[in-house]
Structure 1
């Protein structure tokens, strides 16, 4: 009798969990053309984990985490500004983030989307969450530099390198969300020529993907609904979004706040150069130089006995002559005092340039 009661209890608990998860999975959601109940999606996740290609295994692993009974998932940061680490994200916060993105882009059930980013990281995970939550029809492919073919999509998230390789096909996508790293001046100019509805995102793993967006060609980021911004004593951005985090998120990004919903990103405080008592933002210099330098590069510094730090320009190329006219728009403090060349930069798995490790290669 006791065993029967225990079995009945657990059957009831399991059935209740399935009903709850079925409610979380939007009835219009499709993955690679197929609809799923909770049990069916769980089976698909197990199949992908065991039998899928490498990118599909990542999708399967995330779906198994998403469909379990825990209220949170563990996510790894990219490591572009420090050592990669595991952090806890609440599933309810990820759903709230998905809904905010859907509201911003007016995404509707049955809209088409493409996952061309690794599901090992937050950007790829959130494409799956958006699809499951909003009822999108999501296709998945192995992340490549040129993910677009001939199919039209309503929504896609890409990193700048993918956008660069897809310029001739951006007209196939209604809304392109670009993240992972800053969109360069030259890429912005190229995107504007395509008349594509493209946006640059601001966010990090801790903020569950993006919390602010700006249209390509615009200067200021606009925060998503239910996000408040301020700055700390360092002039670094502080984010308050109760649906995403119970605590304020303090960043290392120096910003200029224009109003309650808009800010201009100046650069990371980690990268700020103090040269002769003058604070110099590498990102500002990079924005100017990008108009005239076609190879990957970044601005950094080296110790200097007189200035404290001197500005240097590091290019991913074999040595070549650079005309002084390239620096004509820079102030005397911003002009690089030394130019270094490196055959290949060190990059993270998400293709962000790791400045510190790249410099270490030169040393």
Structure 2
């Protein structure tokens, strides 16, 4: 079947295109213009270009069955109601807000213009009375909480939702605590475009989703998996791997564990590792510790070369009054929790951290700044 491009920045256009896409009648391309010879399997609903925050962007093929299986599993977990969309509709989290709305028979409320505290308040006020949901990335949640001290209406709006799904990147513990204190009902989600969005909520897989840990890597199976990558059969074969009985497992590339009780814990990317003084250091774990320090909830940790240690990490942050003192605190905390080889060597203070359209940190832009 042929793909039909839709502007992912136009939420209403995506919403209008979804019914035919989910029925397999008119599959859509989000985030890229398909080539004339791009063909997708029958049943394809959406092909999404990933943000490419840590590598080359990929084009993920999602069937209507995968998207609806995810949406229905979410409804079974958190309930059905009306959704407000503050995310770009061209990314999987935005698509899923629209799919959940369609399946529930409710028109979603779309944010008017760019995301901001007042726009969030206005969109929340436009929701019908009843059960309400929305989905945010941590940076958006942080923006709202920062604004709530001067705009009490933001705090009221946050508390108006029966559940606020938080995904796209890890949620720092201090940020989660601030949100709970503000009365927000936070649900931490884990997933990706390849799993049709969040497939693990607060550590528990959605119904039908199976998660295992093999050689330290989190792998996922179930009805929400993508079909593969458009135009890249080799990558598809490496990432979507059938087992001995034919069950296909998605190799996430994430390091993590699954407890005996089935609780999933994700520690970061397997490949986001440096070797400092001969010791393997996970930059994701370093970043998690750094973000637990007051004032650094949105900090980003990047690897760099180091003449003495071979490799080291540096911290990018904003609005620090005394970077030297903060760096000392960071090094002490990281050393205490992860060991001395994991200590960052520098803090770079920027007026604003670069981000991708999805709201995630633009790590490649930060690496270019280092170079």
Worse overlay, 66-75 or 76-85? 66-75
Residue 31 (structure 1) aligns with: none
1:83 correspondence with 2:71: no
Q: After TM superposition, give the deviation of residue 55 of structure 1 in Å.
A: 3.7
**Alignment CA distance shift 1:274-1:210 (3 Å):** same
Does 1:122 pair with 2:103?
no
1:63-142 mapped onto 2 (5 Å cutoff):
63=19, 65-66=21-22, 69=25, 71-73=43-45, 74-107=47-80, 111-142=81-112
Residue 155 in structure 1 maps to residue 133 in structure 2: yes
Q: 1:14 corresponds to which residue?
A: none
- In the alignment, the residues of structure 2 paired with residue 309 and residue 172 of structure 1 have an alpha-carbon distance, to the nearest angstrom, of 46
Q: Are the counterparts in 1 of residues 211 and 221 from structure 2 also a CA contact under 8 Å?
A: yes
| Number of the residue aligned with 2:194 | 206
Q: Residue 279 of structure 1 aligns with which residue?
A: 280
Indicate yes or no: 2:158 matched with 1:188: no
TM superposition score normalised by structure 2: 0.74
Q: Say which SS state the counterpart of residue 324 (structure 2) adopts.
A: coil
| 1:311–1:141 distance in 2 versus 1, CA, 3 Å | closer
Cα distance in 1, alignment partners of residues 207 and 23 from structure 2? 27
Post-superposition shift, 1:90? 0.8
| Matches for 1:160-239 after TM superposition, within 5 Å | 160-167=138-145, 168=155, 169-214=157-202, 221-233=203-215, 235-239=216-220
Give the secondary-structure state (helix, strand or coil) at the position aligned to 1:248.
strand
Counterpart Cα distance in 2 of 1:315 and 1:243: 36
Separation of aligned partners in 2, 1:309 and 1:210: 33
8 Å CA contact 2:290–2:299 kept in 1: the answer is: no
The answer to whether the 8 A contact 1:303-1:309 is kept is yes
Say if 2:353 is the partner of 1:345: yes
Distance in structure 2 (CA, Å) of the matches to 1:309 and 1:119: 38
Higher Rg of the two aligned structures: 1
Q: 1:259 to 1:208 in 2, by over 3 A?
A: same
User: CA–CA distance in 1 between the matches of 2:368 and 2:317?
Assistant: 14
Per-residue CA distance 1:289-344 (angstroms, 9 max, x = gap): 22334254222222234432123222345884331234332222222123333444
Partners of 2:363 and 2:56 in 1: CA distance: 13
The question of whether the paired residues in 1 share the 8 Å contact of 2:276 and 2:342 is answered with: no
CA RMSD of aligned residues (A): 2.6
Secondary structure of the corresponding residue to residue 165 of structure 1: helix
Q: Tell me how far apart the structure 2 counterparts of residues 243 and 85 of structure 1 sit (CA, whole Å).
A: 18
Question: What count of residue pairs does the alignment treat as equivalent?
Answer: 303
* TM-score relative to the length of structure 1: 0.75
Change (3 A) 1:349 1:305: same
Structure 2, unmatched stretches of 5+, are: 1-5, 27-42, 146-154, 227-246
- Aligned equivalents of 2:300 and 2:317: distance in 1? 7
Match among 324, 328, 349 for residue 322 of structure 1: 324
Q: Give the unaligned 5+ runs of structure 1.
A: 1-48, 215-220
Query: Secondary structure, in 3 states, of the residue corresponding to 1:65?
Result: helix
CA contact (8 A) 1:145 1:161 kept: no
